[in-house]
Structures are given as C-alpha cells and as structure tokens.
Amino acid sequence: MLKVENLNVHYGVIHAINDVSIEVNDGEIVTLIGANGAGKTTILQTITGLKKATSGLVTFDNIDLLKEEPSKIVTHGIAHVPEGRHVFVDMTVRENIEMGAYMFSRKDKAQIEEQMENVFEKFPRLKERQSQLAGTLSGGEQQMLAVGRALMSNPKIILMDEPSMGLSPLLVQEIFGIIKEVNAQGITVLLVEQNAKMALKVANRAYVLETGKIKLSGDAKELLKNDEVKKAYLGA
C-alpha cells in the first residue's frame, strides 16, 4: 500500500534521513521506533508532503506522493495525527472534528454526519463534550479528538505520531486499544512511537530508526525479544 524507497531528507547541511526504505501493506500496523531525533517524525511529514525530500520515492497505491501537495495527498486516503495533537483550542470538539472533513463539499452533508456519528460511536467521551472548547479537554481527550478528526476523512491509512506522549499509563493503554480498534475496522496504521514496548506489542512489523537510518527491521514480536532492542529501547 505504502512504499518508501531510498528516501533522503536534508535540513540544510544536516542529512536527517539517509536512504530509508520501508513498506506498509494493506491492513497492517507498522511501527517506527527510535530515540528522539532519529528522524521518525520527518519520515511521516515527508510522506504527507509537509517536508520535501532531497531524493527517493514515496508511493501510495502507485501514486507518487512526492509530486503531490499536502492538500491533495489527504484526498488519496492518507490521514495524519501529528505529534502534539494540534487541536484547535478555541473551537468546540464538534468543530474540530468537522475540520477533518474539509475535503468534502457541502453537498456531502449526509456523509459528513454519518462520519461524525462513527467518530462519536468510537469516542463516546467526545460526544458528551461536543460543545466544549477543545482547549479545556484533558491530554488524553485531545489525543482522542486528534484521532477522531483524522478519521473524518475516511482514510485507508492513518499515520500516528507519538500518540501516547505525555499521557498517564492508564490513558496510554486506552490509546493503544483505540489503535487496535481502528486497525480492526480495516484502516492500515503507520505508527511512530517512543513507547517501544507498547508499539511492538500492537504492531505486525517494525523498523528501528537510528540517526536517520534503518538499523533493524522485521516481525514486531521478534524485535520485542531482540537483545539489542531490549537494551536500547525497553530498559532491559
């Protein structure tokens, strides 16, 4: 479904992403793990057009994404839940969710309402707080809102960047439960996550990124047992 081949990204003279190749197959949860500054977020932002590649290829359903603008990329069925949630704090929960459907025309009002109900079914807490300003929500609720907003575009794949960051252990469990639920409904997931243990538990396959390069890759459950991964990322 999604293929990144020999991707290179520079920030001035800094070679941030160095010949990275990853694949995400239809229906999978694939995770990118690595330390802060390894380049995980940069890869997601390059896929969605927010960062420009120096060289390489990024294709989604055989569409060359590097030639597309971010506003066009989302119409192909790619949704992005950014690091830090980036909800619109002065807008209501409902208004935030509606922003995820901006690519629909006004004629698609019935479809927008149907998507809204699907989101509220998945996140009853958001339905209860739909008239509340997003800035008054807890961190966990804002993360749910960011995921709900992304789901409004009815994506084929959802890119999630550090969804558990700053959340309590209980909310971390809840967010990873949501990731599994989203995937069970047929949405492919590419997950960037510093909580390597949780990410490897829910993923099918994983890539370990170190200073802009893929150091290890393979079955997520196997990498969970890998001594090198345990030492570097699992505190063992």
CATH of the domain at 52: 3.40.50.300
How many domains, in total, are found in the chain? 1
Residue type, 145: L
Q: Which stretches of the chain are assigned E, i.e. beta strand? A: 2-11, 14-24, 29-33, 55-60, 63-64, 78-81, 157-161, 188-192, 205-210, 213-219
Q: What is the pLDDT along the chain (236 residues), one digit of tens a residue?
A: 999 999 999 999 999 999 999 999 999 999 999 988 899 999 999 999 999 999 999 999 999 999 999 989 988 999 999 887 789 999 999 999 988 887 766 667 777 888 899 899 888 999 999 999 999 998 888 988 999 999 998 899 999 999 888 888 888 898 899 899 999 989 999 999 988 999 999 999 999 999 999 999 999 999 999 998 888 877 65
- pTM listed for this prediction: 0.89
Q: What domain range is 222 assigned to?
A: 2-233
DSSP 52: -
